[in-house]
Amino acid sequence: MATHFLGDTAALTGRTLRHVTRSPDTIITTAVMPIAMMLMFVYVFGGAIDTGSVSYVNYMLPGILLITIASGIAYTAFRLFTDMQGGIFERFQSMPIARSGVLWAHVLTSLVANVLSLVVVVGVALLMGFRSGAGVGAWLAVAGILILFTLALTWIAVIPGLSATSVEGASAFSYPLIFLPFLSSAFVPTDTMPGPVRWFAEHQPVTSIVNTIRDLLTGQPVGNDVWTALAWCVGILVVAYAFAMATYRRKIS
Amino acid sequence: MKTQKQSAIRLRGLEKSYKDLRVLRGVDFDVAPGSIFALLGSNGAGKTTVVRILSTLLKADKGTAAVNGFDVAAQSANVRESISLTGQFAAVDEILSGRENLVLVARLRHMEEPGAIADDLLSRFSLTEAGGRRVSTYSGGMRRRLDIAMSLIGNPPVIFLDEPTTGLDPQARVEVWEAVKNLAGSGTTVLLTTQYLDEAEQLADRIAILHRGRIIVNGTLAELRAMLPPAEVEYVEKQPTLEDVFFAVTGGSDTDGEDRRTALEKK
């Protein structure tokens, strides 16, 4: 059965990718909210926020990218949920295929869809004056961290996708994830926050990821933040994967 | 072991509970290869649970079940090689076209020339014209036909049809019945669940009635009829049934009409 894993996953990924390309509105709606936030923060609040020598659009883009991913994975949960409800999931599970390929197809599709949304958001940021002097290596590192973050959140999304009983339930989990960047260094420096909030902001995953991406894009040395960021991403990925697979096994047994 | 070879499907003492609810309380039956076996029961009788256990989607609490000679618990991969499941809701991909659905299943069954297989099935199920359209534009009957066509890919020896005509209009029901009859004619074993008595009567070689988690009756239609006191002969004027009227005024099976209606619904 293992020999079929790649072929089966490819066939199933082709199917879910068509769902994305045939409803490109999911890419647009994923990108619209982060873009709206970006417009509001840059042109309304940004002038009042002191980010030192960095222009505000450059400062906040990393946080906006994480929000884009957090809202994009809601569609992953939604697509998986729809498969579960419609009976096609059971059809696949009753066929002589590598059964976990069904999940991997959704995960790979989630990666592709989120990368497309990220490209749209970065494009708008460029129009709004975002500039980066980062080299190819730094850009690749940014891409790597964003992909790792997408993978981690995607496996979180698999859990409600498999177990939700309503469409709302399947996507509601993403709201706190979308909100998390506001309690971080994504939009304002953490220095002015009151004690407990500041402590939380400085110790939650988003801050280290945002700081790493910001340093990479502005050509600063990344320091220890990169290791904290990678540890968070890998940690979330491993835990979410374990829970998702446990949920999956409960579903198919 | 020897008897396993004779039955395409064999259940012994199958039990399944969901928490306190005992859905199956010891189900036994055998299905001969190449026959149509109807599992008849009202809603909630446990028909779908039986099908889900046989198609390796659910584990039984007690008892054994074998499909095509393979144990569903111990040899589930072999069972999946031997079966196709058409569930209660048409398990087709709405966003793909009919042809793409068929190609996908052919690829997953590792068939050569998936495209040719898809085109052949589209023509066998009178879906050639609709093959390039998204399934979301199909009528209920067309979806069901596509669903059954998808189940035929790879010629699995055993096919499970879980309430294949629930929610279909009379015309579409007859189309599905024709498809099922053709299947059994080509040697495929069909396990059909239904809550419609006339459907079992039309299609099945053997009928079992599942009631409160047990098989209470199992036999051919003639055997089932013989269980009741012999029929008294009465002379009554034959009134046409509503079904007769329906087919007389609509002109019977007409797939073009169906296509036209779906096109209108879209507008």
pLDDT-derived band at B6 (thresholds 50, 70, 90) equals confident
Reply yes or no on whether the pLDDT at A230 is more than 70.
yes
Laid out side by side, the sheet with B206-211 consists of B83-86, B158-162, B189-194, B36-40, B206-211, B214-219
Q: Taking all residues of chain A, what is their mean pLDDT, rounded to a whole number? A: 88
Helix axes A56-86, A101-127, angle to 10 degrees: 150
Least trusted range by pLDDT, from A40-44, B37-41, B258-262: B258-262
Query: How far apart are the C-alpha atoms of B86 and A197, rounded to whole Å?
Result: 54
**Closest residue of chain A to B87, computed from CA coordinates:** A87
Closest residue to B108, CB basis, from A86, A90, A97:
A97
Q: What is the pLDDT of residues B187-211, one digit of tens each?
A: 889 999 988 888 888 889 999 988 8
Least trusted range by pLDDT, from A121-130, A156-165, B243-252: B243-252
**Bridge partners, residue B15, by sequence:** B25, B62
With contact defined as beta carbons under 8 Å apart, do A201 and A207 qualify? yes
Q: What is the pLDDT of residues A57-95, one digit of tens each?
A: 888 899 999 999 999 999 999 999 998 888 888 889 889
Pairing of strands B206-211, B21-31: unpaired
Residue B77 with chain A: CB contacts under 8 Å: 1, 96
Interface subset of B 49-78, CB within 8 angstroms of A: 52, 55-59, 77
Query: How far apart are the C-alpha atoms of A32 and A30, rounded to whole Å?
Result: 6
- Between chains, do B93 and A97 touch, taking CB under 8 Å as contact? no
Average confidence (pLDDT) over A103-112: 94
> Does B2-266 carry CATH code 3.40.50.12160?
no
Distances (CA, A) of B50 to B28, B62, B161, B210: 11, 12, 12, 10
By 3-state DSSP, what share of chain A in percent is helix, strand and coil, each rounded to 5?
80, 0, 20
- Between chains, do B91 and A97 touch, taking CB under 8 Å as contact? no
Q: What is the pLDDT of residues A145-173, one digit of tens each?
A: 999 999 999 999 999 999 988 888 888 88
Query: How far apart are the C-alpha atoms of A12 and B108, rounded to whole Å?
Result: 8
| Burial (0-12, 13-18, 19+ Cβ within 10 Å), B2 | exposed
**Closest residue of chain B to A20, computed from CA coordinates:** B95
Query: How far apart are the C-alpha atoms of A33 and B156, rounded to whole Å?
Result: 48
Residue A96 with chain B: CB contacts under 8 Å: 77, 80-81, 109
Residue A19 with chain B: CB contacts under 8 Å: 95
Average confidence (pLDDT) over A125-137: 86
Instruction: List CB contacts of A102: < 8 A, sequence separation 6 or more.
Output: A12, A83, A89, A92, A93
ipTM of the shown complex: 0.83
Q: B122 and chain A: CB distance < 8 Å anywhere? A: no
Mutate to test the interface with A, among B108, B147, B163 (most CBs of A within 10 A): B108
Query: How far apart are the C-alpha atoms of A234 and A212, rounded to whole Å?
Result: 15
Place of tokens 């036909």: B145
Q: Taking all residues of chain B, what is their mean pLDDT, rounded to a whole number? A: 84
**Closest residue of chain A to B78, computed from CA coordinates:** A96
Reply yes or no on whether the pLDDT at A144 is more than 50.
yes
**Closest residue of chain A to B59, computed from CA coordinates:** A253
How confident is the model at residue B252, as a pLDDT? Answer: 61
How confident is the model at residue B231, as a pLDDT? Answer: 65
Reply yes or no on whether the pLDDT at B260 is more than 60.
no
What residue segments make up the domains of chain B, in order of their start?
2-266
- Between chains, do B57 and A88 touch, taking CB under 8 Å as contact? no
Q: What is the pLDDT of residues A187-199, one digit of tens each?
A: 888 888 888 888 8
CA atoms within 13 A on the CB side of A192: 6
Q: Which is nearest to A17 in space by CA: A79, A63, A91, A68?
A: A79
Mutate to test the interface with B, among A20, A95, A102 (most CBs of B within 10 A): A95
CB pairs under 8 A between A and B: 66
Task: Kindly report the pTM of this predicted structure.
Answer: 0.83
Q: Which residues of A123-134 are buried (b: 16+ CB within 10 A; e: fewer)?
A: ebbeebebebeb
**Closest residue of chain A to B73, computed from CA coordinates:** A253
How confident is the model at residue B251, as a pLDDT? Answer: 72
Structure tokens at A60: 């906040």
Pairing of strands B21-31, B9-18: antiparallel
How confident is the model at residue B119, as a pLDDT? Answer: 93
How confident is the model at residue A239, as a pLDDT? Answer: 95
Residues of A with CB under 8 A from a CB of B: 1, 4, 7-8, 11-12, 14-15, 18-19, 22-23, 86-88, 90-97, 252-253
What residue segments make up the domains of chain A, in order of their start?
2-252
Query: How far apart are the C-alpha atoms of B71 and B74, rounded to whole Å?
Result: 5
Residue A12 with chain B: CB contacts under 8 Å: 104, 108
| A49: DSSP letter | S
With contact defined as beta carbons under 8 Å apart, do B154 and B102 qualify? no
Q: What is the CA radius of gyration of chain B?
A: 20
Q: What is the CA radius of gyration of chain A?
A: 19
Q: Which is nearest to B72 in space by CA: B49, B43, B90, B95?
A: B49
Q: Transcribe B1-65 into DSSP letters.
A: -HHHHH-SEEEEEEEEEETTEEEEEEEEEEE-TT-EEEEE--TTSSHHHHHHHHTTSS--SEEEE
Closest residue to A15, CB basis, from B85, B91, B96:
B96
pLDDT-derived band at A2 (thresholds 50, 70, 90) equals low
Reply yes or no on whether the pLDDT at B5 is more than 60.
no
How confident is the model at residue B50, as a pLDDT? Answer: 92
Q: B18 and chain A: CB distance < 8 Å anywhere? A: no
Q: What is the pLDDT of residues B73-123, one digit of tens each?
A: 898 889 999 999 887 777 899 999 999 999 999 999 989 899 999 999 998
How confident is the model at residue A123, as a pLDDT? Answer: 92
Residue B105 with chain A: CB contacts under 8 Å: 95
